[in-house]
Amino acid sequence: MSVAVDNTIDARGSACPGPTMELIKAMKSSSVGTVVEVLSSDKMTTIDGAAWLKKVGQELVETSDKGGYWSIIAKKIK
């Protein structure tokens, strides 16, 4: 699946505040329609991030294993 990403945050190696917080920060400061990607060296980011997106009603576009790190892509829909 190929998605046009507007903003990629490379949070690989980030211990604090961490990739999930980076996803929340990016989604909060983005305008509706923006597609955000967060790269993480922790697989849990794809699970935690997806759980948060579901809770706040934002769109999870995809998560993927990039070989050694993971990507989560989300779209701000409201």
Partner 1 sequence: MPKRIVIIGGGAGGTITANLLARNLYRQLVSGHVVINMITDKAEHVYQPGFLYVVFDKVRPDEIVRKQKEILDQNINLFVDPAVKIDKENKIVRTQSGKEFPYDFLVIATGSRIVPEDIPGLKEGGHWFYDMEGAKKLRQALKDFSGGRIAITVGVPHKCPVAPLEMTFMLYEYFKQKEMLDKVELFYTYPINRLHSLEPVANWAVPEFEKKGIKSETFFNMEEIDAEKKVVRSMEGSELNYDLLITVPPHKGAPVIADSGFGKDGWIPTNKKTLHNEGSDDVYVVGDTTNLPISKAGSTAHFESHIVAERISSEITEGFSETEYDGKVICFVETSFDEATYIWFNYKTPPTPVPPSKMIHWMKLGYNRLYWLSAKGIL
Binding site for partner 1 (CB under 8 A): 9-11, 13-22, 24-25, 28-29, 48, 51-52, 55-56
CB of 70 to partner 1, least distance (A): 15
Compute the least distance from the CB of residue 50 to partner 1, in Å: 11
CA 16/CA 31 separation, integer angstroms: 25
CA angle at 55 for the pair 51 and 57, rounded to the nearest 5°: 115
Residue among 62, 58, 52 nearest 4 (CA): 62
Q: Based on CB atoms, which residue is closest to partner 1, 1 or 15?
A: 15
Catalytic residues: 16
Which alpha helices (DSSP H) does the chain contain, by range? 19-29, 44-56
> Residue 56 or residue 77: which is nearer to partner 1 going by CB?
56
- The distance of closest approach from Cβ of residue 53 to partner 1 in the complex, given in angstroms and rounded to an integer, is 11
